[in-house]
Amino acid sequence: MKIVILAAILAVTSASVIKDDHTVIIGKDILTNVDIKTKEILCLKLLNYILQPTVYDDIREVAREWVLEENFDKYLKVDVVKKFIEHYKMDFLPRGEVFVHSNDRQMEQAVMVFRILYFAKDFDTFIRTACFLRERINGGMFVYAFTCAVFHREDCRGVVLPAPYEIYPYFFVDGHIINKAFMMKMTKAATDPVLFDYYGIKVTDKNLVVIDWRKGVRHVLSESDRMSYFTEDIDLNSYYYYLHMYYPYWMTDDVYGLNKERRGEVTMYSNQQLLARYRLERLAHDMCDIKMLNWNEPLVTGYWPKIRLHTGDEMPVRRNNILLVNKYNLKEKLFVDDIENIIRNGIFKGRIERRDGTIINLKKTEDFEYLARMLLGGLGIMNDDAKVVHVINLFRKILSYGTYNLEKYTYIPTALDMYTTCLRDPLFWMVMKRITENAVLFKKYLPRYTKEELSFDGVKVEHIVTDKLVTFMDEYDLDMTNALYLDETEMHKKKSDMTYVARMRRLNNQPFKVTIDVVSEKAVDSVVRLFIGPKYDCMGRLLNFNDKRLDMVEIDSFLYKLETGKNTIVRNSLEMHNVIGDRPWTQRFMDYTTDNTGTVDRVVDSYWYKQRLGFSHRLLLPLGRLGGLPLQLFVIVTPVRTGLVLPTIDMTIMKERHACRFSVCFDTMPLGFPFDREIDVTNFYNSNIKYIDILVYRKDMGLSNTVKNIDMSELVLKRDDLTYLDSDMFVRWSYKDVMMMSTDKMMRL
């Protein structure tokens, strides 16, 4: 009997539907030549309303009819299927529990699920296996393994999945917002204007419920909470989650081909760049650099996640001034000390000897790849079943402040435990700084770049100019419909009657252009790198390049064929390398796919579509100041260099996988060049290098665009009742007012 998969009843993540005349029929014969749109429809249905059994009859029918024991021949590795069956019958994470990324037991099971999906011989077997798993295993585990399989399967290249915050909004939306959405669903969006104003809710005539994120209690435990608009940004956290999906630490063998990519260096440099970007954001608030994690001192910085899980459990709050090491985590602390000593001693000695007697050399430039893999995951282990020493996970185990789990399946994660939430916690940045300091130490033992490596004969950067750099806080509506449960009537309709969105404030910047004039004596291929970095530190002191080299954020790198004479290079910020725009709502994307006018081709070929792992354009610049935040823009033009990395690295594979982070697909200079090593200033300043001072402004959206100059000498900033980033409300206070306020304060004291 044929199984009909009806695209007409597809309720996508944002609870939209597809027209009835669009159907996809899958018979029992193997599917061949399936187009991307069809694959996407099937994948989207599997991820829709992940907290409930699927609402689609066809998926349930496939799940009932597919028998793994009868289809061993449909998989490339039969032992993978047999192992999954054995463990599934004995012990697997129950449905309804929270799947935790740092839990060894749960991750081991998730890897089994991934392997059975990855080693399916064809897309037909893959999708049927996914239907089988969707109805049997934990929803969070399914999303993790399924997403990773889509990222790495050859026949899924180009398939776009819903954004992580649409699939499982609980990790991205504050608990009080989801609670209000449940309230609205229970009351059928009763139109009480007083209630709506009190909770910041709007209901449109298009069955859209908009809940203002800003209404409610502001949770503040430390000065780091001033950065929450950045650290809790949904696109930033999605970026880090997708970085893990591209290069999972447990993918340690050659089966997946990742050893042919610069996976260790890319992952390490991505983390270092996130730290540099975080420091720029702190600098915008006159906050100094974060301190490295110190086990011997109380942790001053607390954190309130504000996240309520679908089970009703709250992510634990970490209070200020706690002791990190206690009798419950002393064993893990000793293990971390041993691992760190082995690694740092290996860097000093230039080699690490493993238990099997093999030697890992840590002396040459190309050896950095081994070190990075060691710090961020397993190294040299021949299969997934081996135990991987994951340093960051060891840190997480120590820092799981106060959660003692008595039941083997129930684990209440902290913000640090999840790749989708760890950036929210200030403690994570302190941990990552400690991890990346090992990479910095390794680079200190490498020779400084010579004049020949830094220069480019016959090439001169003459002039750099940018548009006015302006940042602002804008609004964005996050579709959180998947956080709610369908009632019986909606289950029959296979969609929610209402679409629920959370309206948030987020950092954004106006698109800008960078124009670079380069003079070349001959036609030659070149690599152009653009960085932005601080000019002054948090105390207003001028920085030299050695002081700030680790704070330089690479915003663009690209190939450019220089012609003889003057070349004018114009780079639009929207088109910079590995930068993506907003991910559209799944609802809007599905509207495109059903358009017969050719819109789908535009979407399929768009840059963000191919680059799943892209950095949000909105976050290229730190929050500016009304008078301008002083930074510097640095440009270096170098010849294309190859052959400087491991012989196993294959640029072609990275291009095919659209894994071209930074300059890895067209140049083999170390990532971060020329700032990854200490700088010899006598060799640094050459004609192919130039930097200029820039100012990043902040635009107050509450002021009219026609107002150019305002006398602010007597204006005082007054915070509103929502958030200080929403609207800068200035009031003019006289000297008498200030004195009266000071007197009143003294009387209260």
**pLDDT given at position 609:** 42
Flag whether the pTM goes above 0.95: no
Q: What is the pLDDT of residues 550-604, one digit of tens each?
A: 999 999 999 999 999 999 999 999 999 989 988 878 765 554 443 433 333 333 3
Q: What is the pLDDT of residues 439-495, one digit of tens each?
A: 999 999 999 999 999 999 999 999 999 999 999 998 899 999 999 999 888 888 888
Residue count of the chain: 749
**pLDDT given at position 378:** 63
Q: What is the pLDDT of residues 409-435, one digit of tens each?
A: 778 899 999 999 999 999 999 999 999
Does residue 161 have a pLDDT over 70? Answer: yes
Same fold, 223-444 and 451-698: no
**pLDDT given at position 93:** 92
**pLDDT given at position 403:** 53
**pLDDT given at position 636:** 97
Burial of 610 (0-12, 13-18, 19+ CB in 10 A): middle
The structural domains of the chain, with segments of one domain joined by +, span 3-160, 223-444, 451-698, 715-748
Q: Are strands 459-466 and 359-361 parallel, antiparallel or unpaired?
A: unpaired
**pLDDT given at position 610:** 47
The CATH code belonging to domain 223-444 is 1.10.1280.10
**Pairwise CA distance, residues 97 & 138, whole Å:** 7
Does residue 126 have a pLDDT over 70? Answer: yes
Fold type of domain 451-698 = Immunoglobulin-like (2.60.40)
The CATH code belonging to domain 3-160 is 1.20.1370.10
Q: What is the mean pLDDT of residues 505-528?
A: 95
Residue 549 Cα to chain centre, angstroms: 23
Does residue 60 have a pLDDT over 50? Answer: yes
Query: What's the start-to-end Cα distance of the chain, in Å?
Result: 82
Residue 385 Cα to chain centre, angstroms: 27
pLDDT band at 92 (very low <50, low <70, confident <90, very high): very high
Q: Backbone dihedral region of 461: left (phi > 0), alpha (psi from -120 to 50 degrees) or beta?
A: beta
Q: Nearest-5° angle of CA 41, CA 492, CA 163?
A: 35
Residue 613 DSSP code:
S
Enclosing H/E stretch for 636: strand 629-639
Does residue 530 have a pLDDT over 90? Answer: yes
Question: Are 375 and 391 spatial neighbours (Cβ–Cβ below 8 Å)?
Answer: yes
What integer best gives the mean pLDDT of the chain? 82
**pLDDT given at position 386:** 44
Does residue 711 have a pLDDT over 80? Answer: no
Which of 38, 39, 35 shows the shortest CA–CA distance to 23? Answer: 38
**Pairwise CA distance, residues 682 & 688, whole Å:** 15
